[in-house]
Amino acid sequence: MTDANTERFALRLKGISKTFGGLQALDDVDFEVRAGEVHCLAGENGSGKSTLIKIITGVYQPQKAELFELFGEAVRSISPTGARNRGVSVIWQDLALFSHMSVRENICFDDMVGLTPKGVHYGEMDRKARAVLERLGVPLELDIPLEALSIARRQIVAIARALMNDARLIFMDEPTASLSRSETDHLLDIVRKLSADGVAVVFVSHRLAEVLEIASRVTVLRDGRLVGVYDCADMTQVRLGELMTGQLIENKVVARDRVDAPKVMEVRGLSRAGEFENVSFDLHAGEVLGLIGLIGAGRTELAHVLMGMRAPTAGDMRVEGRPFRPSSIRDAIRQGLAYVSEDRLSLGLLQKQPIEDNTVISVLHKLLTRLPLLSMRKRDALVRSWVDKLGVKIGRPSDLISTLSGGNQQKIVLAKWLATEPKLLILDSPTVGVDIGARAGIFRIVRSLADSGLAILLISDEATEVMFNSDRILHMAEGQIVAEYDPRKMTVPELEERVYA
């Protein structure tokens, strides 16, 4: 037991070390969470955040632990079930729910399973599920299948499930990665409510702004070591980014006037019924045009029409002055467009395939010999040249793409599209799941591409991203372009105010 006059801790760890094979995943790390505190665990991919959580929840055993206390009790060794019984829950990014089962069954899941068959009391389940949802202040219908809910709602279900197990320490892994701004706000409200109830919440997040908004303290890890524990009140985004990456991430407006350069694309009155309306803009050679808007504003739908995946219901498009009406993605690619999808995991890359095949997939015709067979020599040369040009860190080109970090995967996506020698590159939320350090690398590439004359449409819902990387900014809301901004005459808070308000 801890002294009566020290603060109560949900969790105290000292001197935790863990190696995998020869790799030191955690090296002498300390980590403390106070009871009822909202704490942030920050660090880039590979910094040891997940390993630390897995040790706390009994998935891994540490090689060395000087101190391991949960709610004031020493822990000798812990299993995943043991951790749950002690009140520790993790909500992983994929939520680990059952999409075909009802909300009720998902919330009460742990009551329903077991090796010994005991009766399932639906009335009892109803009562408990209702009570826990009431506690969260979110009335959800219990009968509908989980898959009918939005991601944000599913997250509520995951939190409810954790509370059913009397969780007093909840880890949330990237909980806001696929939420819109208002959904994020709602989630943060719930987190505050939990905290007020005495439930400690540990946030694992890439998004620094919301981390600083919600957490009282932040623990920063880098390369498996503890960098430090800081009060969020005295922390800035820039400083936190620096602590996480070990390098100063400069954020400065780089906008230049490109409106005199030749127009690569002209869009006039473009509409698609029910998705967006009367969208008009010009995009010039060498220009990065930011398109900011919330999820659901019609950004991605617009990109899909530009790429020929869906037909517009009205309006005109021109590419280099010629009428442009792509009949398919292939047609759009042939006419010089390229599209980095927002969904890298399932649409941007083929996760089960090697790096090399992912790189050349859109330019197979360039690999043909006279026979016409694919030349492996040409493939290897092409892959090598792009990997070098973009500075992608890979093992062997024949390794699976899934072995790469998010940032390096995204560079391969860029390589794949740049190999098609496009005139216009559409980047749809290009830094989802990409570390801050790697983001800077990707935007350096984007900037140099623009300098070489490529026209770039940068779609994002992050104000900082658009602000510091675009030459002009279009603001899209509810399917319409509502304003155009000059990043040089604007600040990030002003932009956030207009977009998120």
Partner 1 sequence: MKTSLGTIRSGLGTDTSSLIALLIVVVLGFSIASPQFMTAANLGSMGFQMPLLGLLTLAMLAPIISGGFNLAVTYTANMSGLTLAWVLLQFGGKDAGVGALVLGCLAAIAVGMLAGAIIGFVVAYVGAHPILVSLAMMIFLRGLGEFLTRGGDISGVPDYMRVLGHETLIGIPVPLLLFGAVAIVWHILLRRTQHGFSVTMTGSNQMAAEYSGLHTKRTLVLLYTLSGLLCAIAGILMLARFNSVRVGHGEALLLVTVLACFLGGVDPFGGYGRVVPVVVSLVILQILSSGLNLIGANQHMATAVWGLFLIAVMVLRSEQVKMVLGFFKKS
Instruction: Using DSSP bridges, classify how beta strands 288-292 and 217-222 pair: parallel, antiparallel or unpaired.
Output: unpaired
Residues 6+ apart with CB under 8 A from 490: 467, 473
Three-state SS for 260-278 is CCCEEEEEEEEEECCCEEE
Q: How far is the CB of 395 from partner 1 (least distance, A)?
A: 14
Q: How far is the CB of 184 from partner 1 (least distance, A)?
A: 27
Q: How far is the CB of 61 from partner 1 (least distance, A)?
A: 17
Q: Nearer Cβ to partner 1, position 249 or 329?
A: 329
Q: Nearer Cβ to partner 1, position 13 or 426?
A: 426
**How many Cβ atoms sit within 10 Å of the Cβ of residue 192?**
13
Class of residue 421 by CB neighbours under 10 A (exposed 0-12, middle 13-18, buried 19+): exposed
Q: Cα Rg for the chain, rounded, in angstroms?
A: 25
| E strand or H helix at 337 | strand 337-340
Distance of alpha carbon 473 from alpha carbon 453, whole angstroms: 18
Distance of alpha carbon 168 from alpha carbon 320, whole angstroms: 60
Q: Which of 2, 61, 99, 351 binds partner 1 (CB under 8 A)?
A: 351
Q: Which of 144, 238, 311, 368 binds partner 1 (CB under 8 A)?
A: 368
Q: How far is the CB of 154 from partner 1 (least distance, A)?
A: 21
Phi (first) and psi of residue 345, to 5 degrees: -65, -45
Q: Nearer Cβ to partner 1, position 263 or 366?
A: 366
Q: How far is the CB of 264 from partner 1 (least distance, A)?
A: 19
Q: Nearer Cβ to partner 1, position 79 or 398?
A: 398
Distance of alpha carbon 24 from alpha carbon 43, whole angstroms: 16
Phi (first) and psi of residue 336, to 5 degrees: 100, 15
Instruction: Using DSSP bridges, classify how beta strands 263-272 and 314-319 pair: parallel, antiparallel or unpaired.
Output: antiparallel
Q: How far is the CB of 376 from partner 1 (least distance, A)?
A: 6
Q: Does 67 bind partner 1 (CB under 8 A)?
A: no
| 421 conformational bin, left if phi > 0, alpha if psi -120 to 50, beta if neither | left
Q: Does 144 bind partner 1 (CB under 8 A)?
A: no
| Residues between 403 and 442 that touch partner 1 (CB under 8 A) | 416, 420
Q: Nearer Cβ to partner 1, position 18 or 304?
A: 304
Cβ atoms of 190 and 138 closer than 8 Å? yes
Distance of alpha carbon 141 from alpha carbon 124, whole angstroms: 16
Q: How far is the CB of 440 from partner 1 (least distance, A)?
A: 26
Distance of alpha carbon 372 from alpha carbon 436, whole angstroms: 43
| Residues between 369 and 388 that touch partner 1 (CB under 8 A) | 372-374, 376-377, 380
Q: Nearer Cβ to partner 1, position 257 or 343?
A: 343
Structure tokens given for 267? 């869009």
Q: How far is the CB of 457 from partner 1 (least distance, A)?
A: 17
Q: Does 349 bind partner 1 (CB under 8 A)?
A: yes
The stretch near partner 1 (CB under 8 A) out of 124-132, 265-273, 367-375, 492-500 is 367-375
The stretch near partner 1 (CB under 8 A) out of 48-56, 144-152, 186-194, 355-363 is 355-363
Q: Nearer Cβ to partner 1, position 165 or 420?
A: 420
Q: Does 364 bind partner 1 (CB under 8 A)?
A: yes
Structure tokens given for 91? 């909500």
Q: Nearer Cβ to partner 1, position 104 or 416?
A: 416
Q: How far is the CB of 352 from partner 1 (least distance, A)?
A: 5
Q: Which of 78, 80, 144 is nearest to 107 (CA)?
A: 144
Binding mask 319-348 for partner 1 (x = CB under 8 A): ----------xx--x-----x-x----xxx
Number of C-alpha atoms within 13 angstroms, CB side, residue 192?
A: 10
Q: How far is the CB of 383 from partner 1 (least distance, A)?
A: 13
Q: Nearer Cβ to partner 1, position 396 or 489?
A: 396
Q: Does 357 bind partner 1 (CB under 8 A)?
A: yes
Distance of alpha carbon 437 from alpha carbon 428, whole angstroms: 19
Angle of helix 151-164 relative to helix 122-136, nearest 10 degrees? 110
Q: Does 23 bind partner 1 (CB under 8 A)?
A: no
Distance of alpha carbon 209 from alpha carbon 219, whole angstroms: 15
| Residues between 167 and 226 that touch partner 1 (CB under 8 A) | none
**How many Cβ atoms sit within 10 Å of the Cβ of residue 373?**
9
Using CB under 8 A as the binding criterion, the count of chain residues that bind partner 1 stands at 28
Structure tokens given for 355? 């790096």
Q: Nearer Cβ to partner 1, position 246 or 372?
A: 372
Q: How far is the CB of 454 from partner 1 (least distance, A)?
A: 18
Interacting residues toward partner 1 by CB under 8 A: 329-330, 333, 339, 341, 346-353, 357, 361-362, 364-365, 368, 372-374, 376-377, 380, 398, 416, 420
